[in-house]
Amino acid sequence: MGVNISQSDQASSRRSRPRVLLIAEAANPEWPSVPLVGWSHSQAIARQTSCHIVTQIRNRAAIERAGVDLSQFTFIDSEKIAKPVHRVASIVRGGGGKGWTTVTALQSLVYPYFESLVWRRFGNRLRNGEFDLVHRITPLSPTISSPLAKRLARMGVPFIIGPLNGGVAWPRAFDQARRRENEWLSYVRDLHKLLPGYRATRRYASLIICGSTATMAQVPRAFAPKCVYLPENGIDLTRFPDPGPKLIEDSLRLIFVGRLVPYKGADMLIEAVAPFIRNKQVSLEIVGDGPEMPSLRELVSRQSLNSGVSFSGWIPHEQLFTRFAHAHILGFPSIREFGGGVVLEAMSQRVVPVVVDYGGPGDLVTAQTGVAVPMTNRAGIISGINRAIGGLLDCPGRIVEMGSKARERVTQEFSWDAKAKRVIELYRRVLA
């Protein structure tokens, strides 16, 4: 009888505060995009569980500067393969910020080596029952397999993968942008499903977290029952404090934030709001840098919009909230966005997002918190944004109301602690 009580107590303890081995190969508090997701997500989970975080050695210096307890971390040195592959990727991608499909394909060759080193360090500890489950947070790409999945299944340790996000198909109307992005490999991207580890990872995983509905739709039907939807991105509310309701005085202040590359669509935003800028109804600030900067400046000059459009260039992420705090509307017509973290950051600052209803941003924006313009073609998107901004200009009180609801939605559903709470509920479901 005593043995049964002990086993029951142990099971209850695992469910209340699971012992988790978190794998976040990319986890860096000083880098944007996926590394920041890996860092923020793992730290939020660590606050609510007993966990140990495994990451790549390149992240160590930044993590040390963050002042956290390093005993919570193991740093894996996979640079023997990672460094030369990174150099090759820099050459073949065809320019900074381009050829992401090619970069991901090359990373898929490196990651299994990283996991083999993880297994060397933690295989015996997993066999000895030191962890209740293993959760791979990054890589986010659904094309990158996890050799650990089968090994863990054999020893009865649950393996959770995700949030997986990516693989949003290029819209047919924007094939020219696809080529300008050097996305040649994207034409045969679906071949990754034939690779040996693709189905095995999904077969042996206990749970698959999908970061967007688009990624969820790509999962083979056989594995769909294992899938749950949980957006990839979250918000650190200490970095993005509430600015309070905003006054709308003379004109609306629009902001675009992102890399200045073809698929982000900054040129479409400029053309869409040009009539309102000429009438001094709105101003537009473009925050970011990239290869499209010269052509965007030329577009602004050609349309005589210089007095109403400013280019701020790249700014540190920790200063971004000050830009959002003075804006009313985020214009973000990206045609192929996986996550859309900038949309949540804007919403946290009571900024109303106007996005294209495709990929991640379309999942994040509701009719109460923003405007999602239908995905059509270039002319259709420009027209849709123009109508959306015009409608908000006609009813400025609606901007204040939507901004308030946007802040509320982010606080309740998308803070990292709120997301971690949902993940831990999934842990308990798996362990039960």
pLDDT for 265-294, tens place per residue? 999 999 999 999 999 999 999 999 999 999
DSSP structural state of residue 201? H
Tokens matching residue 181:
């992005």
Look over the chain and give the mean of its residue pLDDT values, rounded to a whole number: 89
pLDDT for residue 3: 37
Write the pLDDT tens digit of every residue in 364-392.
999 999 999 999 999 999 999 999 999 99
pLDDT for residue 4: 45
Write the pLDDT tens digit of every residue in 298-340.
999 999 999 999 999 999 888 888 899 899 999 999 998 888 8
pLDDT for residue 89: 61
Cβ atoms within 10 Å of 129's Cβ, excluding its own: 12
Q: How many helices (H) and strands (E) does the chain have?
A: 17, 13
CA distance 8 to 158: 19
pLDDT for residue 15: 56
Write the pLDDT tens digit of every residue in 20-62.
999 999 999 999 889 999 999 999 999 999 999 999 999 999 9
Q: Predicted confidence band at 109 (pLDDT cuts at 50, 70, 90)? A: confident
pLDDT at 94 over 70: no
H or E stretch at 331 = strand 329-332
pLDDT at 168 over 90: no
Closest CA to 220 of 208, 235, 238, 232: 208
% of the chain beyond a pLDDT of 70: 89
Out of 36-50, 139-153, 169-183, 403-417, least confident range: 169-183
Out of 123-132, 181-190, 227-236, 343-352, least confident range: 181-190
CA distance 376 to 3: 64
pTM here?
0.88
DSSP 117-157: HHHHHHHHHHHTT--SEEEEEE---TTS--THHHHHHHTT-
pLDDT for residue 317: 81
pLDDT at 139 over 80: yes
pLDDT at 205 over 80: yes
Strands 252-257 and 329-332: parallel
CA distance 344 to 233: 8
pLDDT for residue 99: 54
pLDDT for residue 176: 80
Residue length of the chain: 432
Tell me the backbone φ, ψ of residue 17, rounded to 5 degrees.
-145, 80
pLDDT at 404 over 80: yes
What is the phi-psi region of residue 287: left when phi exceeds 0, alpha when psi lies from -120 to 50, beta otherwise? beta
Coil vs helix vs strand at 340: coil
H or E stretch at 372 = strand 371-373
pLDDT for residue 2: 40
pLDDT at 198 over 90: no
350, 328 contact by CB (below 8 A):
no
pLDDT for residue 289: 94
pLDDT for residue 191: 60
pLDDT for residue 5: 40
pLDDT for residue 249: 77
Tokens matching residue 35:
């590394």
pLDDT for residue 356: 96
pLDDT for residue 132: 98
What is the average pLDDT across 57-76?
96
What is the average pLDDT across 4-25?
70
pLDDT at 101 over 80: no
